[in-house]
Structure 1
Amino acid sequence: MTGKYNAMLDQMVRDYSLVTHGYSGVAPANPYPMFEEKRAKCPVMHGDLLQENSIPSMADYMMTGRPVVTLYRYNDIHSVLMNPDDWLSYIVGDGFGAAVDNLLLTAMDGEEHTKYRKTLQKPFMRGQIRKLMETLIRPVVVNEFVEKLRPNGKADLLREFALPFPIRAMYAYFGFPHDEDLLGNLASWAIQVVAAPQTDPEVAKVTIPQSMVAGQSMFETLMPIVQQYRARGEMRNDILGYMMTTEHEGEKFSDEDIANFIRMLLLAAGETTTRSFANMMVQLLEEPDVLEELRQDRSLVPKAVMETMRRDPTAGAVARIAARDMEIGGMTIPKGTAVLCSIASANRDPEVYDDPDRLWLKRPMRPLLSFGFGPHMCLGMHMALTEMEVALEEILDLPGLRFDPAYPKPEIRGLNMRGPDALHVLWDVDGA
């Protein structure tokens, strides 16, 4: 690795850690006993779980005093996410939307969301993404990462693999040129935008202006890429090519439109997959018998991805606003009240999942909430799942994979954007 590449990884780790710190607050690293108590005693709770733990509120980020209710049960949360006319999403953009000119698909409601989603979803549909598994994703994972790591016998899988590989694969699908500086800059800027919300006012004095600069830098970097792509006149089978040839309400997208939408997509193009993959590996390495079961039966790889995302999801919470007076769990929720939906709690609801704390690869699955649900389900879900499946298949081929005892055991933390700070592992090397 070059010094420049290592410096890029170091910066990505710093930005990643800032997000983790911001969403950890004073909450316990293992919040699941707390969630168990909440489900039993106050499944529909007046108050904001995140604010109570000194974490930036998703439900009232601007600290307006908006009333907030936190939900902990699967069925209550599923009902909210399935009914976008009753539960609005516009508050999703409160935390960092300004840095991207408030253009966030996840913060759109009604007809606006439906139209944009319909226009943008085709290149992200499962059938299209599965075509990329062997032609794009596996070559990136194997040739650019796993085979280079294999002779070393050890790595921080977070820094050296989980952070860069999803970004590299996704950027290739966008149609970006293969440029390490470009990859590093866009990845760091995207994380800086996400890191804007902070409860410590002194930290926020740095992160909020930084996020605005990062958002503008992303746009200024993307515009010439879009313009050069169009000038070549060669529309390839990638996202830039798709957006230049598709129409929205009878009109083609301008270069500015495309740069803005690509910037929006970049915010979720890498880091959430990074965290989900790292969380998955921590869980599997903590359960050697389960890891061995997976080694012996690779058909379980997709189930392992889904089960680990259920058991310890990256996106631990989402927020909505009541469009009218509503009722949940016997409690009246007045119009304008925000509901914070604890996805992490719902995913271990014993009313839905038997023995919910257990890592069980053959678990009968219910609709998974970890990517959201309903019309706002994560647009990039199939890309993330495919990336994680390929990455897991290849990492399983590292013999004797285990935690490196020279480092503290990794700990997944945060009430949202959950993940470990590092993932030091060892494996056996032939002839060593």
Structure 2
Amino acid sequence: MQWLFNLPTAIWRRLLLILQGLWALIWLIAAGIGALLGKGGTIGSRLGAAIGGPEGQRKVFAVLRLFQPNLVIKRKVIASYPNNGVTAIATRHTDVTDILTRDADFGVVYGPRMEMITGGENFFLGMQDTPRYTRDTSNMRLVVRRDDVPTIVTPYVSTAAAEIVAMVPGKIDVPQALTQPVAAGLLDRYFGTPGPSQAAIAEWTTLLFWYLFIDLQADPDLDARAQAAAASFRDWMDGHIAARRKGRKTDDVLGRCLAMGSAEMPGMSDRDIRNNLIGLLIGELPTLSATANLALDELLDRPHQFAAACAAARSGDDATLAAYVFEALRFRPLNPVVYRRAMRDTSIAAGTLRRRKIVKDSIVMASNLSAMFDPLAVPDAPSFRTDRPWETYMLWGYGMHACFGAHINRAVLPAMLKPLLAQPNLRRAEGERGQIDKAGTPFPQHFHLEFDT
């Protein structure tokens, strides 16, 4: 009889799905009319500006969840990785999580570009569920330890961020002065890989993250820049590993890797260490800096929630502060979709009316952004709430290939932002300076805030 008690909830959630989809459709129609009648630029550019942002994306996904939850189009959306020119877009929570856990059906695509970066070897992010994947991830979990987060990672980030904020005179360019330096410092203090300079390691990791995950159209100019950055990264890392072998022993990630290599553990040669660390560093610095700025920007757009987050920072209520940061990122994730390639002919949502056949080598885009707003799975999804269980958030992927450093991100982001949010009368700088400037990249490069001193 349990189904009888669950029936009202199921009906209510279906009703919400319909209402949200219809409201989003009206919003999109209005945006289209506004773009048609607007001035400046082309109709396409005006429409892109209207619906290309986070709110517009959420509206598009709400319409798809209602009318076409698993959309299949005969269009090559991704040119940077091999595929057959067919693209599927999954929007409902159930289907998104299903796709991201069926690794034999929907495989990761990053291998070819990962091999370019390392000079011929794949990194476990680009591997299927193979013995080598298990070996490499197991090795790296022995050196990137969960218990390091409260004892090493969070104390460093908290101290570094507080020192930076204490030195600025009431004005700060957040990416350049705070988030990138703290993330780069973590590469030095914890990973043992500072790079030849903070600017160099930030440039390499940011460019290569862009190349791996965001360059969907295979831009030849970006390809050339990425190849140059990868070669420089490899050369520096090879030299740094050699120097560390000759130097004093240090208990950081690289030091632990070298100790395992000296013990002749399989998969821990100096070349293996170099490749695994390059892969991890590419995912660390750009992700931490970008998501911190996106969360901050989203909070600033919500005065009530922003004030509450600032109050939590000032009172030292870390749990509440973290809840505000991650709920903000639910509205503004760094990547709104995770893409895979069909390894064989298969289907999505088998046994349902929304079932779709997926042909081998099709690209499947599973929208984690849409999944986090699916009213069938997330209660009161459109509202900003800080009482959601952690499992609600799909900010760094899902399943076997979820972000390796997700536990680091979860601790670092609130700690990095806390000293800044604690400042009195924190606010945007006037004009365009107070808005995120990506400076021709996919990531926040400038974001000017002010506060009273």
Structure 2 length as normaliser, TM-score? 0.77
Specify the alignment match of 1:423 in structure 2.
Answer: 447
Specify the alignment match of 1:219 in structure 2.
Answer: 234
- Once residues 231 and 208 of structure 1 are traced to their aligned partners in structure 2, the CA distance between those partners, rounded to angstroms, is 35
Is this contact kept in 1: 2:209–2:286, CA < 8 A? no
Q: Find out whether 1:337 has 2:362 as its counterpart.
A: yes
Q: Matched residue of 1:69: which SS? A: strand
Q: Following TM superposition, by how much is the alpha carbon of 1:410 offset from its aligned partner in structure 2, in angstroms?
A: 2.5
- The number of equivalent residue pairs is 387
Specify the alignment match of 1:391 in structure 2.
Answer: 416
Is this contact kept in 1: 2:336–2:369, CA < 8 A? yes
- Selected match of 1:305 from 325, 341, 362: 325
Report the AA paired with residue 241 of structure 1. G
Q: Find out whether 1:168 has 2:188 as its counterpart.
A: no
Specify the alignment match of 1:34 in structure 2.
Answer: 60
Q: 1:410 to 1:352 in 2, by over 3 A?
A: farther
Report the AA paired with residue 28 of structure 1. G
- Selected match of 1:207 from 222, 225, 230: 222
Q: Matched residue of 1:302: which SS? A: helix
Indicate the larger mover: 398-407 or 248-257.
248-257
Specify the alignment match of 2:138 in structure 1.
Answer: 118
- Once residues 154 and 117 of structure 2 are traced to their aligned partners in structure 1, the CA distance between those partners, rounded to angstroms, is 35
Is this contact kept in 2: 1:278–1:419, CA < 8 A? no
Q: 1:134 to 1:107 in 2, by over 3 A?
A: closer
Q: Deviations over 1:191-243 (max 9, x none)?
A: 22233465778xx3321111111101001011111111111241x22111111
Report the AA paired with residue 360 of structure 1. R
Report the AA paired with residue 110 of structure 2. V
- Once residues 253 and 437 of structure 2 are traced to their aligned partners in structure 1, the CA distance between those partners, rounded to angstroms, is 33
Q: Matched residue of 2:364: which SS? A: strand
Q: Following TM superposition, by how much is the alpha carbon of 1:44 offset from its aligned partner in structure 2, in angstroms?
A: 0.6
Is this contact kept in 2: 1:96–1:193, CA < 8 A? no
The structure carrying a bigger helix percent of its residues is: 2
Residues 395-414 of structure 1 correspond to what in structure 2 (within 5 A)?
395-407=420-432, 410=435
- Once residues 120 and 418 of structure 1 are traced to their aligned partners in structure 2, the CA distance between those partners, rounded to angstroms, is 28
Report the AA paired with residue 333 of structure 1. I
Q: Matched residue of 1:45: which SS? A: strand
Report the AA paired with residue 358 of structure 2. I
Is this contact kept in 1: 2:341–2:361, CA < 8 A? yes
Q: Following TM superposition, by how much is the alpha carbon of 1:408 offset from its aligned partner in structure 2, in angstroms?
A: 5.7
Is this contact kept in 2: 1:314–1:370, CA < 8 A? yes
Specify the alignment match of 1:136 in structure 2.
Answer: 156
- Among all aligned residue pairs of Structure 1 and Structure 2, give the percentage whose two residues are the same amino acid: 19
- Once residues 327 and 412 of structure 1 are traced to their aligned partners in structure 2, the CA distance between those partners, rounded to angstroms, is 41
Q: 1:422 to 1:325 in 2, by over 3 A?
A: same
Q: Find out whether 1:108 has 2:127 as its counterpart.
A: yes
Is this contact kept in 1: 2:95–2:348, CA < 8 A? yes
Q: 1:385 to 1:48 in 2, by over 3 A?
A: farther
Q: Matched residue of 1:33: which SS? A: helix
Task: Identify the structure with bigger relative contact order (alpha carbons < 8 Å, sequence gap 6+).
Answer: 1
- Once residues 360 and 76 of structure 2 are traced to their aligned partners in structure 1, the CA distance between those partners, rounded to angstroms, is 21
- Once residues 406 and 75 of structure 2 are traced to their aligned partners in structure 1, the CA distance between those partners, rounded to angstroms, is 26
Report the AA paired with residue 246 of structure 1. M
Q: 1:355 to 1:377 in 2, by over 3 A?
A: same
- Once residues 223 and 157 of structure 2 are traced to their aligned partners in structure 1, the CA distance between those partners, rounded to angstroms, is 34
Indicate the larger mover: 277-286 or 64-73.
64-73
Indicate the larger mover: 273-282 or 315-324.
315-324
- Once residues 410 and 398 of structure 2 are traced to their aligned partners in structure 1, the CA distance between those partners, rounded to angstroms, is 15
- Once residues 243 and 281 of structure 2 are traced to their aligned partners in structure 1, the CA distance between those partners, rounded to angstroms, is 19
Q: Matched residue of 1:155: which SS? A: strand
- Once residues 165 and 243 of structure 1 are traced to their aligned partners in structure 2, the CA distance between those partners, rounded to angstroms, is 23
- Once residues 25 and 219 of structure 1 are traced to their aligned partners in structure 2, the CA distance between those partners, rounded to angstroms, is 38
- Once residues 49 and 388 of structure 1 are traced to their aligned partners in structure 2, the CA distance between those partners, rounded to angstroms, is 37
Gaps of 5+ in 1: 1-23, 52-56
Report the AA paired with residue 336 of structure 2. G
Q: 1:207 to 1:363 in 2, by over 3 A?
A: same
Q: Following TM superposition, by how much is the alpha carbon of 1:424 offset from its aligned partner in structure 2, in angstroms?
A: 1.8
Q: CA RMSD in A?
A: 2.8
Q: Following TM superposition, by how much is the alpha carbon of 1:73 offset from its aligned partner in structure 2, in angstroms?
A: 1.3
Q: Deviations over 1:328-357 (max 9, x none)?
A: 131122333321112222222122223323
Q: 1:88 to 1:62 in 2, by over 3 A?
A: closer
Specify the alignment match of 2:93 in structure 1.
Answer: 74
Q: Matched residue of 2:391: which SS? A: coil
Specify the alignment match of 1:241 in structure 2.
Answer: 255
Q: Which has the larger radius of gyration?
A: 2
